[in-house]
Amino acid sequence: MSYLRPQLRQLAMSAVVASQAAALAAVTPAIAQLPDPSDIATLYEKAKVEGTIRWYVGSPLPALKALLAEFEKKYPGIKVELNRGAGVAQYQKFMQETLAGQHIADMVQIADFPSVRALHKDGHLAEWKVPTADRFEPKYRMGYAAYLPQPTDNAIAYNVNKLTPEEVEILSKSWNSVLDPRFKGRFAVVTMKCGTCYAPLQMFADPKLSAEFGPDFAAKVAAQKPAMYSDTFVALERVVAGEHDFTYWTFEAAATTMWSQGAPIRWVMPPNTPSFTNTWYAISKYAPHPHAARLLLTWILSEEGAYTLQRTQGARTTLQGAEDRRPVAKEKWYRPLTKAYDIDFDVWQRDYNKSLEAWIKTMRAGQ
């Protein structure tokens, strides 16, 4: 049975969920005596008995390890084991194990909204109303089963030694500024299948923005002769190294992390920059270590967790009332996102593969 695509999942899962429900319930850990979410002391005591959290993640491991170092320092006796994979691949892995009765993951961090929505709809995620739950807008949580502590904001990141102030200003005006003849052969594009890679493609194809982009926009970008990379981080690293002037495009958190490490980069987020709910955090309904998993999620979604996420992963927080403490927010050159393009996830689920494959084909044809 294939789970490679969320749209195929709906056809496959409808035939198996009912027949598997009783078996899944039978092996779900007994957690009837869960403490109140605000009773952190009791939760910690039970978590120490379990000792381990197995977390399926999609974010870069160095940033997550820095985050977890703070958690493990605060709560000694608990270790977090990470298993990294792409968004849909993590969904596939989790579902294959679940339907086989192999409950390994305690938590999931999946960067694919349709996949998380499917897990929530089919009852595979545990409801856990953390003390800060109602400080997250409804669009940043699925009931109390999945939470999004930071959004994904696309950005055009550039090497400060390669662009003039005038050129930076041009790029900051619109995403179609990349077509300016002066930028020909000076930037990098990515031919990777990922949420960050897809989001601007939905914007480019939006009929409401046809005057700005139009049906031949991708071909016009390809005609600018960009360098091609199959990984967003590699493209960004090549910009840092000065091999290209800017990358079209990356996501702000990645750029922020490199900037904080001293890389000679900055970035712009023109009007209609895609901002979307991409990386979701949730507890498996079948978690072998249910108390430890709940302790970790509770901490990540607290104010302390929000500030630690800002420091280690570079993205702004979605927790209402938590200030932006990122050092970059205090820089004179920094311009926060002022006009976001909101992603339609029904279109995402329908067009994700088709749009990315068309983009990749067009970029290759332009070489």
Q: Rounded CA gap, 288 and 299, in Å? A: 19
| First-residue to last-residue Cα distance in the chain | 38
Strand 107-110, strand 280-283: pairing: antiparallel
Find the helix or strand (DSSP H, E) in which 142 lies: strand 141-142
Token pair in block for residue 160: 């400060």
**Which pLDDT belongs to residue 86?**
73
Q: List the pLDDT tens digit at each of the 367 positions of the chain.
A: 333 344 434 433 433 343 344 444 444 454 558 999 999 999 999 999 999 999 999 888 888 999 999 999 999 999 999 998 876 788 999 999 999 999 999 999 998 888 999 999 999 999 999 999 999 999 999 999 999 999 999 999 999 999 999 999 999 999 999 999 999 999 999 998 888 899 999 999 999 999 999 999 999 999 999 999 999 999 999 999 999 999 999 999 999 999 999 999 999 999 999 999 989 999 999 999 999 999 999 999 999 999 999 999 888 999 999 999 999 999 999 999 999 999 999 999 899 999 999 999 999 998 8
**Which pLDDT belongs to residue 315?**
86
* Residues forming beta bridges with residue 188, ordered by sequence position: 227, 247
Q: Rounded CA gap, 14 and 298, in Å? A: 32
CB–CB of 126/290 below 8 Å? yes
Distant-in-sequence contacts of 214-220, Cβ < 8 A, 24+ apart: 217/176, 218/358, 218/359, 218/362, 218/363, 219/362, 219/366, 220/179
> 100, 105, 114: which is closest to 85 by C-alpha?
105
Indicate the DSSP class of residue 343: P
Tokens 């493209």 locate to: 235
pTM of the shown model: 0.82
Token pair in block for residue 215: 């049906």
Handedness of CA 271, 273, 274, 276 (dihedral sign): negative
C-alpha triplet 297, 43, 61: angle, nearest 5°: 30
CATH assignment of 6-150+277-313, given 3.40.109.10, 3.20.20.60, 3.50.50.60, 3.40.190.10? 3.40.190.10
For 150, 165, 241, 246, 356, the CA distances from 162, given in Å and listed in that order, are 30, 10, 11, 8, 29
**Which pLDDT belongs to residue 13?**
41
> Within the chain, which residue ranges are assigned CATH 3.40.190.10?
6-150+277-313, 152-276+337-365
* Residues forming beta bridges with residue 190, ordered by sequence position: 229
**Which pLDDT belongs to residue 87?**
67
Report residue 320: phi and psi, to 5°: -60, 135
CB–CB of 52/289 below 8 Å? yes
**Which pLDDT belongs to residue 59?**
83
Q: Does domain 152-276+337-365 have CATH number 1.10.275.10?
A: no
**Which pLDDT belongs to residue 11?**
35
**Which pLDDT belongs to residue 26?**
42
Token pair in block for residue 199: 């989001």
**Which pLDDT belongs to residue 31?**
54
Where do runs of H (alpha helix) occur along the chain? Answer: 6-27, 40-50, 61-74, 87-99, 113-121, 165-173, 195-204, 217-222, 232-240, 252-260, 290-300, 303-313, 345-365
C-alpha triplet 44, 48, 53: angle, nearest 5°: 95
